Amino acid sequence: MADKHAERRGEHDLAAPGPDRIRNVVLVGPSQSGKTSLVEALLAHARVITRAGSTADGTTVCDTEDAEKSHGRSISLAVAPLVHRGVKVNLVDTPGYVDFVGDLRAGLRAADCALFVVAANEEVDEATRTLWRECAEVGMPRAVVVSKLDHPRADVDAVVAQARAALDGKVLPVYVAGPDGVSGLTGLITGGDGTDDPRRGELIEAIIEESEDEDLMDRYVGGEEIDATVLVKDLETAVARASFHPVIPVCGATGVGLAELLDLCVDGFPSPLEHTSPDVFTPAGASVGVVACDPGGPLVAEVVKTAGDPYVGRISLVRVFSGTLDPDTPVHVSGHFSSFFADGAGHEDHDEDERIGALGHPFGATQVPAARVVAGDLGTVARLSRAETGDTLSAVDRPLVLKPWSMPDPLLPVAIEAATRSDEDKLSQALARLAAEDPSLRVEHNAETGQLVLWVMGEAHADVVLERLAARHGVSVEQRELLVPLRECLAGPGRGHGRHVKQSGGHGQYAICDLEVEPLPEGSGFEFVDKVVGGAVPRSYIPSVEKGVRGQLERGLRNGYPVVDLRVTLVDGKAHSVDSSDMAFQSAGALALREAAEVAGVAMLEPYDEVRVLVPDDLVGPVMSDLSARRGRLLGNDNVEGGRTLVTAHVPQRELVRYAVDLRAATRGAGTFTRTFAHYEAMPEEQARQVTPRLHH
């Protein structure tokens, strides 16, 4: 395998000499924009592979288990390196489908700059703007690549105009395509035939302005002809500040723009030396600040992706921010998500010492053996059995923790159960492994409903998780209707008489008690009051009555759901000197409560979430109407920059089970939402009559 890789790479050595000769470039863009095809075209252009889509030994580069596809969509990030003009360029291909935003964010963490790919035959829609905002939120320097120039409906000028109008910051072409779109490019910085193009002056002014080179601006305004090498240097500064975004048309099929794009990556993109590392802390939470990208510095690396390999076990893709990874050396593995995320996102905190296994440079689903991985580079580590996505690798004698990147919040619940007893035995371990690989998957064992719930990003994500359970771990599961944890409460006051008297020979059972019940305000809980006078119920049996009442409250009074917010007052009763007992008064208390509930009436309570929906302004009306149709109570809306509105409402959880899917469909992927528990509220009687009684095991 190593020889085949060496053969196809030829003179291209993937072991970078130092951080200054590395460019980590993530490709971002909507599904079907041509990102994966562009990666393959760039690899073929650099002669890393013989032709786009395959390697010299016949394997594919990006369409692999590490870059899985679902319904034609790439759903997992993949890394492919090439060498251009002596600089190693790590191309990180990310999914464009919204269900797999977790891999997108991992790719943004692994890279120092981005190629934002839009197709020349498509519009810059709201889903594209959403991806652009993902880049902007982490301050990612980026250039815009207009792909598919050879498409019959390609219109480069129209797409560039849309991009300039829709995407924040200065978005200007540095190259322009010929009249037919595929005959070649003209550079606006280097001049030549493009010297008289009016776009050249606008470009030069934007580069100088965004690089804040006042001296050069004075020279330019004074009429001096600026040398192209000086402009390229300022271009790199402007791009690194993430305020200027050069545009370049590229056609992977014909090769137009590939060389220019690689030149832009080398000359116009920052190296790892210019990209500030995430904040660093000790496991105890003390700030260390940031670390320099120095191969001789303290080891600080991060697991940006984990994957299972049937032959070598777990493979960890790591970004080295400082120091050098050497094989067969011990490292400290730290994961401390709770220190950074108040909602508990991510995995459980842990600290482990492990030994580095074989190192490699990622190449799609394969790994090219590596002697070491230096600061600024990406590499793979074999057999880190305890390392999870988002963990930090550091020296055993100096453990450190990187502040993790923001994890996406999975909002689609899927209830499952094992298909067979054999599957049940393997299910927990298999889900634990999948969750360690995928931070956007959350596994919940709901104690109230007894269900196992997978929280996923969407239906495609759910399909992938279930497919991986079956294919990788041999576990079959069946989906079930999601149960919502309901409550019961009394509709009014009432009085009940509990008589538990039995005589069947020998020791009998005798207990009588009278209870008064009344509902309490929401959140008050349960109160038990003793108002017995004259010793009608002996003091030793009063706790027994309370215990019987509490047990009945747990078992429910109507459909088997817990009863809440209730005051129960014991007012009278009778006991027998021989036949009364603890169990008898427990039974009498439960009987009295059930009789009182029949008098008072029992209402069903359902949980409500506060839902905050962020949508483009033109979709506010339909979204608000939909929330109202879900029995939601609208609380208001606020304007947000970028032509968006934040709609807030309280909505029953029963109406939100598929909201992640429905909102995406209704807004064409432009709407997002968050949800947090708000309160319990009485369920309409029509809805309450449809509730399935809860079974107690």
pLDDT of amino acid 61: 46
Q: What is the mean pLDDT of residues 549-564?
A: 96
Q: Higher confidence at residue 81 or residue 70?
A: 81
Which of 374, 402, 430 finishes a domain?
A: 402
* 204 is a domain residue: no
Cβ within 8 Å of residue 441, ≥6 positions away: 410, 434, 435, 454, 455, 456, 461, 465
Q: What is the mean pLDDT of residues 393-417?
A: 94
* 117 is a domain residue: yes
Q: CA 359 to CA 368: how far, in whole Å?
A: 8
CATH of the domain at 444: 3.30.70.870
Q: What is the mean pLDDT of residues 588-597?
A: 98
Looking at the structure, tell me whether residues 252 and 116 fall in a common domain.
Answer: yes
Looking at the structure, tell me whether residues 109 and 162 fall in a common domain.
Answer: yes
Looking at the structure, tell me whether residues 587 and 617 fall in a common domain.
Answer: no
Average the pLDDT over each of 133-142, 245-254, 357-366, 478-487 and give the range with the smallest value: 357-366
Looking at the structure, tell me whether residues 626 and 682 fall in a common domain.
Answer: yes
Looking at the structure, tell me whether residues 545 and 581 fall in a common domain.
Answer: yes
The answer, yes or no, to whether residue 2 has pLDDT greater than 80, is no
Q: What is the mean pLDDT of residues 39-53?
A: 86
Residue 577 structural domain: 487-600
pLDDT of amino acid 212: 92
Q: Given pLDDT bands bounded at 50, 70 and 90, which one contains residue 56?
A: very low
Q: What are 534's strand-pairing partners?
A: none
Instruction: Give the percent of the chain with pLDDT over 90.
Output: 75
What is the sign, positive or negative, of the torsion defined by CA atoms of 355, 349, 418, 67?
negative
Report the largest interatomic distance among the alpha carbons of the chain, rounded to a whole angstrom: 116
Looking at the structure, tell me whether residues 290 and 435 fall in a common domain.
Answer: no
When the pLDDT of each residue in the chain is averaged and rounded to a whole number, the result is 89
Q: Higher confidence at residue 10 or residue 361?
A: 361
pLDDT of amino acid 3: 37
Looking at the structure, tell me whether residues 40 and 132 fall in a common domain.
Answer: yes
Average the pLDDT over each of 11-15, 168-172, 413-417, 669-673 and give the range with the smallest value: 11-15
* 76 is a domain residue: yes
Q: What is the mean pLDDT of residues 112-119?
A: 97
pLDDT of amino acid 302: 97
Which pair of structure tokens corresponds to residue 74?
């790439």
Looking at the structure, tell me whether residues 428 and 334 fall in a common domain.
Answer: no
Q: Given pLDDT bands bounded at 50, 70 and 90, which one contains residue 541?
A: very high
Looking at the structure, tell me whether residues 448 and 538 fall in a common domain.
Answer: no
The answer, yes or no, to whether residue 371 has pLDDT greater than 90, is yes
pLDDT of amino acid 309: 67
What does the pLDDT look like over 244-260, one tens digit per residue? 999 999 999 999 999 99
Average the pLDDT over each of 66-75, 175-184, 306-315, 437-446 and give the range with the smallest value: 66-75
* 559 is a domain residue: yes
* 203 is a domain residue: no
What does the pLDDT look like over 492-528, one tens digit per residue? 999 999 999 998 766 789 999 999 999 999 999 999 9
Pick from 668, 667, 635: which is nearest to 649 by CA? Answer: 635
| DSSP string computed for 15-60 | S-SSGGGEEEEEEE--TTSSHHHHHHHHHHHTTSSSBTTB-TTS--
Q: HEC string of 372-420?
A: CEECCCEEEEECCCCCCCCCEEEECCECCEECCCCCCCCCEEEEEEECC
CATH of the domain at 629: 3.30.70.240
The answer, yes or no, to whether residue 114 has pLDDT greater than 50, is yes
Looking at the structure, tell me whether residues 128 and 79 fall in a common domain.
Answer: yes
What does the pLDDT look like over 629-673, one tens digit per residue? 999 999 999 999 878 999 999 999 999 999 999 999 999 888 999
Which of 552, 578, 600 finishes a domain?
A: 600
Looking at the structure, tell me whether residues 312 and 390 fall in a common domain.
Answer: yes
* 366 is a domain residue: yes
Q: Which residues in 503-620 belong to E strands, given as ranges?
A: 509-519, 526-530, 566-575, 602-616
pLDDT of amino acid 204: 92
Counting the structural domains of the chain, the total is 5
Cβ-based burial of 221 (10 A; exposed 0-12, middle 13-18, buried ≥19) = exposed
* 295 is a domain residue: yes
* 610 is a domain residue: yes
CATH of the domain at 356: 2.40.30.10
Looking at the structure, tell me whether residues 424 and 380 fall in a common domain.
Answer: no
What does the pLDDT look like over 200-246, one tens digit per residue? 999 999 999 999 999 999 998 898 888 889 999 999 999 999 999 99
Q: Given pLDDT bands bounded at 50, 70 and 90, which one contains residue 697?
A: low
The answer to whether the predicted template modeling score (pTM) of the entire model surpasses 0.85 is: yes
CB 65 within 8 A of CB 307: yes
What does the pLDDT look like over 122-156, one tens digit per residue? 999 888 988 999 999 999 999 999 999 999 999 99
CATH of the domain at 143: 3.40.50.300
Which of 346, 377, 402 finishes a domain?
A: 402
